[in-house]
Amino acid sequence: MTERNIAIEAADRSAVEDQGVEIVERKGIGHPDSICDGIAEAVSRALSQLYLDRVGKVLHYNTDETQLVAGESAPTYGGGEIVEPIYVLIVGRATREYDGKRLPVDATAIAAAREYLNENIPELEVGTDIVVDTRIGEGSGDLQDVFGEDDVEVPMSNDTSYGVGHAPLTETEEIVLTVERRLNGPYAADNPELGPDVKVMGKREGDEIDITVAAAMVDAYIEDLDEYDDAVERVRGYVTDVARELTDRDVSVEVNTADDYDAGSIYLTVTGTSAEMGDDGSVGRGNRANGLITPNRPMSMEATSGKNPVNHIGKIYNLLSTDIAESVVADVDGIRDLQIRLLSQIGRPIDQPHVADAKVVTEAGVDLADIEPEVRARIDERLANVTDVTRRVIEGELSTF
């Protein structure tokens, strides 16, 4: 049986839920940074599937450097136009030839990007409003070697790096995550004037939670300022209701606080994203692997989206640490706040981290020593099944942003 280096200790801090001030952010799927994350991950899954279909295994690649150069637009009530298109460049490395056969890497990448944009930014016409390009080179020889041989059951780490995860979510974290997902889900389905570029910022001071929403409105569905104001108020009311489902604390909600009605300056767009009007984007500048930006907690600076899901620690350990934290909290009673850090060492099997570090805040009256064996066993079990993360990522079960 593999002896894994698992360290468990009491956290030297209060649970985040009990701290005086908490800040949480989520960039919605239409934000320029999230567009880059989404495209990079869609391309990643498509390349994995290409390799599985053609070769029978995932070959070496990374597409985690996707960049977006903002366009220029002229929004107006009833429908404006794109003046200069958005430009997206998919950058990375990939295996283009295997066993003497050329593989359609660029065509696969562009097709995946087009499909992602059509599905998630429906007002954005691919080819006219946005141009997608690729610059995908060959992979580094030494990293291809680290990628592993055919008979290796558990891949070797591609890097000496780390991932961070936590659970459970605080009320503020849950509100911020749920608000964006519902706005870009059932709410947008019934209210097409709301674009997918929705950014949600949560601030909690004591028991008062303030939610600030930046919501891009689509001009084709809004005839005048009164309709715009109504649309903003509908979003505010909806977000307030969602937040109050998730907390008994006092909640206040503000939407599009930069608007100046007297000056005619409002958040009106042609396509529903600020990428059309000067806001650039890049993979890894937005949400972390759990979908949130959480300055009250340790975070990894790794860009999770676009990295290969076989042995790239920047992807696997960030997703796995979150999965471990959620699993431990779900299965072990008495935990108020759990932080997991996984550190890899290049060339070491990914199921054997250099250290798996757990920092625990227990519930009142619970001794960490009493639950430590259960915590250790659950961490060990999830590490032993690390390759399941690869499958879940390729099949689209795990979100990376």
Write the CATH number for 335.
3.30.300.280
Please report whether residue 259 resides in a domain.
yes
Domain count, the chain: 3
Is pLDDT above 80 for 131?
A: yes
Q: pLDDT tens across 251-279, in order?
A: 999 999 999 999 999 999 999 999 999 89
Q: Bigger pLDDT: 91 or 2?
A: 91
CA neighbours closer than 13 Å in the CB half-sphere of residue 2? 15
- Same domain for 164 and 306? yes
Residue 2 has pLDDT above 80, yes or no: no
Residue ending a domain, choose from 226, 250, 273: 273
- Both 248 and 293 in a single domain? no
Q: Where are the beta strands (DSSP E) in 189-329?
A: 194-205, 208-218, 250-255, 268-269, 281-282
Question: Do the Cβ atoms of 48 and 94 come closer than 8 Å?
Answer: no
Please choose, from the candidates 279, 281, 298, 280, the residue with its C-alpha nearest in 3D space to the C-alpha of residue 289: 298
Q: Is residue 244 part of a domain?
A: yes
Poorest-confidence range of 89-93, 300-304, 367-371, 376-380? 300-304
**Quick one: tokens of 91?**
């950058």
* Residue 179 and residue 311 share a domain: no
Mark which of 234, 253, 273 sits at the end of a domain: 273
State how far the Cα of 317 lies from the Cα of 274, in Å rounded to an integer. Answer: 31
118 and 94 within one domain: yes
Q: Is residue 76 part of a domain?
A: yes
Examine the domain organization and report whether 41 and 128 are in the same domain. yes
Instruction: Give the residue among 347, 341, 340 at the shortest CA–CA distance from 311.
Output: 347
Pair 164, 301 in one domain: yes
Greater confidence (148 vs 9) lies with: 9
Same domain, 197 and 187: yes
pTM of full prediction above 0.85: yes
Same domain membership, residue 366 and residue 322: yes
Whether residues 39 and 141 share a domain: the answer is yes
Model pLDDT for residues 35-85, shown as the tens digit of each residue: 999 999 999 999 999 999 999 999 999 999 999 999 999 999 999 999 999
Give the residue numbers spanning the domain of 357.
6-17+160-170+285-394
Q: Is position 27 within any domain?
A: no
Q: Do 109 and 95 fall into the same domain?
A: yes
pLDDT tens string 279-331: 999 999 999 999 999 999 999 999 999 999 998 999 999 999 999 999 999 99
Does residue 1 lie within any of the structural domains?
Answer: no
Boundary residue ending a domain (231, 250, 273) = 273
What's the distance, CA 337 to chain centroid?
Answer: 21
Residue 57 within a domain: yes
Position 152 in a domain: no
Q: Which two tokens stand for residue 47?
A: 């390349």
Q: Do residues 165 and 303 share a domain?
A: yes
**Alpha-carbon span 217 to 397, nearest angstrom:** 30
Residue 41: strand, helix, or coil: helix
Residues 117 and 129 occupy one common structural domain: yes
What does the pLDDT read at residue 142?
A: 46
